[in-house]
Structure 1
Amino acid sequence: MKQQGNILLLSCYELGHQPFHLASLSAILRQAGYAPVAVDTAVESLTDEAIKRARFIAISVPMHTALRLGEQLARRIRAVNPQAFICLYGLYALLNAEHLLQGTIDAAIGGEYETPLLNLIQAQEQGSTLEIPGVYSREASSGPWIARTPFIIPERQQLPPLTSYARLQWGDEIRLAGYTETTRGCKHTCTHCPLTPVYNGRFFAVPVPIVLNDIRAQVEQGAQHITFGDPDFWNGPTHAMRILRSMHREFPELTFDATIKIEHLLKHQHLLPEMRELGCAFVVSAVESLNDLVLQRLKKGHTAEDVATICDIMDQVGVALRPSLLPFSPWETLESYLALLQFFEDRGYIEHLDPVHLSIRLLIPPGSAILDAPDRNEWLGKLDAADYTYRWQHPDPRMDLLQKQVAHLVEEGEQCKADPVETFFQVKALALAMQDQPFSVADAVQHYQKREVLPHLTESWFC
């Protein structure tokens, strides 16, 4: 297994970033004496020759879209190299392991994947069939491995250059963007989040020197901006700020973005002015909805009023807030969806949104905490294992129809690079049509005053 190419590490999609989950695993394996080959199939070709040479193939599937692509890739690999051992690793691999193991893969790993995957490779070398903690296979159904990873600096030399990935756009300026993580897991247990059934409220801090060395390596590759991809950058605010201060001292021109809960932005708002001074271009926050019943069901830890407060604070501080949304769930109503749109229109926040967020529908993977919702019998259907989600129907049929229409509209808009403001008002027109209310998109676009290019990544956020 230690010859070059015996181990093949594959990524399918990591939100337009250079794949951290390949870089981290590659470093661990190289430290153990292996010579893995890493291929990011999102931006480079995977040859049949590379597949045939491999004895062990690990495919990173940290999210739903990546899993869909990863399973397709596994089928191709099985056809080209029937003898290869195929392992999917990441949150969605473990949640959907039972289905995946009925098809083309041999093992699935979730949680802190590096140690179990290394142990699995070593077991394959030795021909061992013993159960390996953290590895879900046909022979054993181990749960996630939630223990501190022996973190080392990610290995990025084999990965495509940063020029192959999403960039930061800020006004007329375009900057190369890197990506790293300062923590793993999350101390919160939002019911719709795939982290909840895997990490169950646990998180681990990556040592400061490891993070800073990873940033240095990307700056050497030309990075002018860093995305901190933690599920929540302020799970450990002291840790996060220590990293930012060190980064800014060494690279004062380097900008960054991070994902932070509304709850944490409120609690630690005193840190926001310093965040701006340290180079924060924008903050992503999972607003999800402005319907307080929805927020309660999702256990988000904030209210609609909190969102309005944070919008005011972020405007005063001068850091752009980019909300992520989950506007189609069993508890959203047509009225609250329209109120959500009106909120962003009234605040002049349309440019803060990626239009795709107006279409996101709740996914309920196996093991999801949503399955414990008290009213689930009113809307929950059967598991569609092939689509990695439980089916559900909204109590108001208009909402399911609207979601399909909005999804189609924003997808078309993305493909033709449509004006996001115009797309927003087209979505509003669709929603108002469900109430038989007329609406002129052209008039709304003409009268919308605030038009500016806020800092954002050139890859829209998808899950």
Structure 2
Amino acid sequence: MSGAAQQPTIALVNPSVGYSDRRKSKPIGLAYIGAYLAHHGFPAAGFDFGDSPQSPAALSGEHGLDRFETVGFSVYNESLDATLEHAAWVKRRNPEALVVLGGPHATAVHTEIMRDCPDVDAVVRREGEKPMLDLVRHRHESRLDVPGTTVRTPSGEIRVNIDSPFLDDLDSLPFPDFPFVSDSGYPPLTYFDSNRGMVVPALAVNSSRSCPYNCSFCGVLTIGRKYRMRSGESVVAELDHFRTSEGLDHQHVYFSDANFYVYPKRALGIVQALHAYDPRITFSFGTRVNQLIKHQDFIPDLKECGLRFVELGIESASPDVLKRLSKGVDPSDNLAAVKLLERHGLGVSLDFIMIDPETTLTDLRANQRFLKAGGFYDYVPHEHLYTHLALYAGTPIRDYYQERRGTTFGMSELPPIETLIEDPATARVRAALVWFRDAYQPAVDQVLAEAEALLQARAKHRAEHPVSRVELDLQLDVVAVRHAPNLYFDRLLDDCERHRGDGAADFAALLPRPGTGAPTLAALLLRAAERIEALTPDSAGAVDRAAALLPAASLTTPNTAERSGP
């Protein structure tokens, strides 16, 4: 480890994106940079404002960002405006501070940032470890010449320095063990292992970088497609390190790679090393459909080593949409991959894009058929119903739609899908799905979470909790609640087709009546909550929690009062 006589004071910041409903997880890219700087003798302070509802100025002031000599921000499309507010606040109070932006979005619009944002001194392009180290090392000397950066010279010239070489030896990087100050903190990462009927501590591990494919919508393209990998020994050492440092017996590994399964022999080698280290360890990973099918012979060995589920980049069941997304697969491949995992007793985590700007009712019907055929009407979460294409800066699909629309999106602009949809019928579907998501999905999620946790606990201790009529009725309600968002989607498509896209303005009129006795959806949710309370008399409140999440109008509907008690 090298040292520095006078170490600069560095802050690494994950800016706020202005809302706080995202799942909270540590920004691993910044963590790698912070650990790398510390390893080379330049310790940094980490600040994660990613889910804070406070303004950038308030956050900057509360945490004193102006006291640092170097302030680095990791920037995504959604956070550029907030980042620039942070930068302006810092520069007003400390003009000598070196303000650096990096990350996928900053990489994509590096010249625009340096041209239009005087409070930014440098942009780090692509990977951040080596350029950031060079910037802080040469802060007072030759920082204008650092490879991998775009800078502004004293004369105002924008200088795009040569790219910094990719870090090929990922095993040489220190583990991303870097603390962040965060208002909300991080919930423990866990995994419910249904095979063992227990929740276990989990760890997210990145065993590779980039992806050699060229999906048109993927922000990984801005960083570069050169695929680099870690060894099994390195992954095992990281798990062992965090078990010790966090004092947790991590038993599940979420591989957070953009594409874990590029080289199946390498993937198998990594999990075999984990299995030899601790046979209790289970794991999951993400990959492409065509890779899973092509290398399906490896699946039995992967399962033997603890594979529980695979996150599949399905994206769409429409051939036209798949072509626009440059997926290089046929809709039949998507279903084949799902059925392949099903035959091996493995779960599927679904990556899906329900709507893009050119989606039609025909495309949506194809998605509907796939969801039914793939068994996803029983799948939770229901997020796949509400997803849409995001036109991230630096992606080919964004360039395509700029040309198609004869416009140029602003450097911080992430155009809302509602402004891009071309088919009026699809626009109506989108509006209705958003309405359902906001009005009913929170209560659906709440009731399902409470009911399924309760049912799993009772099943685990069956001798103490014999099956009762109330429990059987709750099981039926859970199935109905799981199906409700999909049934709403069915009714919505039917309505749009009957009325050529111009159906009923009252989206509530399309709500399904699932479950025994065909109650209203609100009544079904409240009935299920009543049954939860009946089975857990010491933990009342399920009904109140569900009611608090439902639209007020739904609680005064006559049928809501007709729900049968336990």
Q: Compute the displacement of 1:289 (Å).
A: 0.5
1:130 counterpart SS class: helix
Mapping of 1:73-112 within 5 angstroms?
73-74=86-87, 77-78=90-91, 81-101=94-114, 102-103=116-117, 104-112=119-127
Q: 1:376 to 1:129 in 2, by over 3 A?
A: closer
Match for residue 270 of structure 1? 297
Q: Report the TM-score, using the length of structure 1 for normalisation.
A: 0.83
Q: Compute the displacement of 1:127 (Å).
A: 3.3
d(CA) in 1 for partners of 2:198, 2:8: 40
Mapping of 1:344-423 within 5 angstroms?
344-370=371-397, 373=400, 377-379=403-405, 381-388=407-414, 393-411=420-438, 413=440, 415-416=442-443, 417-418=445-446, 419=448, 421-423=483-485
Asked if structure 2 preserves the Cα contact closer than 8 Å seen for 1:18 and 1:165, the reply is no
Q: 1:186 to 1:211 in 2, by over 3 A?
A: same
1:176 maps onto 2:195 in alignment? no
2:409 counterpart SS class: strand
Read off the aligned partner of 2:486 and give its amino acid letter.
F
- Share of identical aligned residues, percent? 19
Work out which of the residue numbers 433, 452, 456 in structure 1 matches 2:495: 433
Asked if structure 1 preserves the Cα contact closer than 8 Å seen for 2:202 and 2:253, the reply is yes
d(CA) in 2 for partners of 1:130, 1:56: 15
Asked if structure 2 preserves the Cα contact closer than 8 Å seen for 1:12 and 1:69, the reply is yes
Match for residue 29 of structure 2? 21
Q: 1:99 to 1:33 in 2, by over 3 A?
A: same
1:213 maps onto 2:234 in alignment? no
Q: How many residues align?
A: 443
Higher helix share: 2
d(CA) in 2 for partners of 1:351, 1:218: 35
Work out which of the residue numbers 33, 40, 46 in structure 1 matches 2:48: 40
**Greater relative contact order structure (CA < 8 Å, 6+ sep):** 1
Q: Compute the displacement of 1:16 (Å).
A: 3.4
Match for residue 536 of structure 2? none
Q: Compute the displacement of 1:292 (Å).
A: 0.9
Gaps of 5+ in 1: 448-463
CA deviation profile, 1:355-407 (whole Å, cap 9, x unmatched): 3332222222333222564x875446431323245987333133234334424
Q: 1:364 to 1:312 in 2, by over 3 A?
A: same
Q: Compute the displacement of 1:159 (Å).
A: 4.8
d(CA) in 1 for partners of 2:200, 2:79: 25
Match for residue 121 of structure 1? 136
Mapping of 1:208-357 within 5 angstroms?
208-220=232-244, 221=246, 222=248, 223-357=250-384
1:178 counterpart SS class: strand
Read off the aligned partner of 2:485 and give its amino acid letter.
T
Q: Compute the displacement of 1:68 (Å).
A: 6.3
Alignment root-mean-square deviation, CA? 3.3
d(CA) in 2 for partners of 1:75, 1:421: 49
d(CA) in 2 for partners of 1:7, 1:25: 11
Match for residue 213 of structure 2? 188
1:384 counterpart SS class: coil
2:261 counterpart SS class: coil
Q: Compute the displacement of 1:213 (Å).
A: 1.8
d(CA) in 2 for partners of 1:428, 1:146: 51
Q: 1:443 to 1:407 in 2, by over 3 A?
A: closer
Asked if structure 2 preserves the Cα contact closer than 8 Å seen for 1:96 and 1:365, the reply is no
Q: 1:113 to 1:339 in 2, by over 3 A?
A: same
CA deviation profile, 1:409-436 (whole Å, cap 9, x unmatched): 3355565435554333334444443334
1:406 counterpart SS class: helix
**Larger C-alpha radius of gyration, 1 or 2?**
2
1:59 maps onto 2:86 in alignment? no
1:266 counterpart SS class: helix
Asked if structure 2 preserves the Cα contact closer than 8 Å seen for 1:365 and 1:390, the reply is no
